[in-house]
């Protein structure tokens, strides 16, 4: 798994590549928490390179969402692959996250 963080004036863009599973969910959680603790109020997560997620990964998504909501910030996802989208639909996550088709839409939205 690779996580890249790019901060700009208005938002922070995180791109995740590879798999988020039980063996590495903590490696994904750490940089996400650092971004939130750094005071980010608009967090965009580009999932174009994310090709596998299990409940351990979904757990981190939910933790981030709860934290961002508590801070009155925004957490937006974009570029979900069909397999990931399916898991989001099954688990009811599609209705509790703001999902955008691409980065531009997520930045503007």
Residues in region 46-85 near other proteins by CB under 8 A: 51-56, 58-59, 62-63, 65-66, 69, 82-83
For residues 4 to 43, the per-residue mask of contacts with other proteins, x marking binding by CB under 8 A and - elsewhere, is ---------------x-xxx--------------------
DSSP 38: T
Torsional sign, CA 30, 34, 35, 37: positive
By CB under 8 A, name the one of 2, 9, 90, 108 that touches other proteins: 90
Q: Is 89 helix (H, G, I), strand (E, B) or coil?
A: helix
């Amino acid at each position: 798994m690779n996580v890249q963080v790019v901060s700009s004036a208005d938002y922070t863009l995180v791109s995740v590549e590879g798999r988020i599973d039980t063996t590495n969910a903590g490696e994904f959680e750490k940089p996400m928490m650092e971004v939130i603790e750094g005071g980010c109020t608009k967090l965009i997560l580009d999932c174009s390179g994310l090709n596998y997620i299990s409940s351990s990964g979904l757990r981190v998504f939910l933790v981030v969402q709860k934290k961002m909501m508590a801070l009155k910030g925004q957490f937006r996802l974009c570029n979900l692959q069909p397999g990931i989208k399916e898991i989001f639909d099954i688990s009811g996550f599609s209705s509790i996250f703001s999902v955008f088709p691409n980065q531009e839409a997520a930045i503007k939205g």
